[in-house]
Amino acid sequence: MTDDTADTTDGTAPDDDAPADRHANTPGKGVAPAARTIEPSAPDEFGLVQTWWGDGKGKTTAALGMAFRAAGHGYRVHLLQFMKGGAASVEDVRGEYNAIAAVPGISYEHSGHYGWHGMADGTDEVDHAARAADGFERARELVDGWADADLTAPLALDGDPAAGAHMLVLDEVVYAANRGLVDPDDLVALAAAKPDALELVLTGGHEEPAYLDEVSDLITNVRKVKHPFDEGHRARKGTEF
């Protein structure tokens, strides 16, 4: 004879009042996820400011993961990349751009200058600053333009970014701000003035952007424990670009 009073994993007695279908109160109702056709939709709970910084690999990767996840739900996403203008160490291809072109709902713009800022690689630091400034002006133009857009409604998946987006990813903008190519105060002001329904994702930089503490709802420090770059490995196609 078994003891039915200890029929739960934590050793407590089962709840006699619990519904027979224990999946009924879970978000997915116990149904396994499956791919569906992407149709324009609108998020119910967007509107936070996320900041991803640190000396570890994965800041852009995390942001792009969220971007593709949002697009998979039919939300409109726009990516604006700073700093990443390419260099002799990588090919003239970026995997995320190819993937974005194949997925409805995501678009991108690029404001990086060739080479690396502050690395004495022969590129003009003034040009780096100018491209970063242009990128930030574009970000401000988009955010200001979305003030009158209804970001709680579905948006055309192939629409002009100027018409609105549910998520804006400013990749490496924190890196640019930490290096003085973008004024940190301007970045704070942009985050503070964004439309309430816009999910704003900021990434980049190895130094802590304490200036973003008050305007950020989520801050993640991506910390390096070990990295193949330290052993002389170069950027790898498919992981770094």
- pLDDT one-digit tens code per residue, 16-28: 555 556 777 777 7
pLDDT tens, position by position, 114-135: 445 444 445 455 566 888 899 9
Question: Can you give the pTM of this predicted structure?
Answer: 0.82
In a domain, residue 237? The reply is no
- Please choose, from the candidates 204, 38, 49, the residue with its C-alpha nearest in 3D space to the C-alpha of residue 135: 204
- Is residue 152 pLDDT above 50, yes or no? yes
| CATH value at residue 161 | 3.40.50.300
In a domain, residue 2? The reply is no
Range of the domain at 216: 43-231
H-state helical runs in 57-212: 59-72, 95-102, 125-145, 173-178, 184-193
| Dihedral angle sign, alpha carbons of residues 236, 104, 191, 135 | positive
In a domain, residue 127? The reply is yes
In a domain, residue 219? The reply is yes
In a domain, residue 108? The reply is yes
Domain count, the chain: 1
In a domain, residue 56? The reply is yes
In a domain, residue 29? The reply is no
pLDDT tens, position by position, 45-102: 999 999 999 999 999 999 999 999 999 999 999 999 998 655 555 656 678 999 999 9
- Is residue 218 pLDDT above 90, yes or no? yes
In a domain, residue 106? The reply is yes
CB-neighbour burial class of residue 214 (10 A; exposed 0-12, middle 13-18, buried 19+)? exposed
pLDDT tens, position by position, 27-39: 777 788 888 899 9
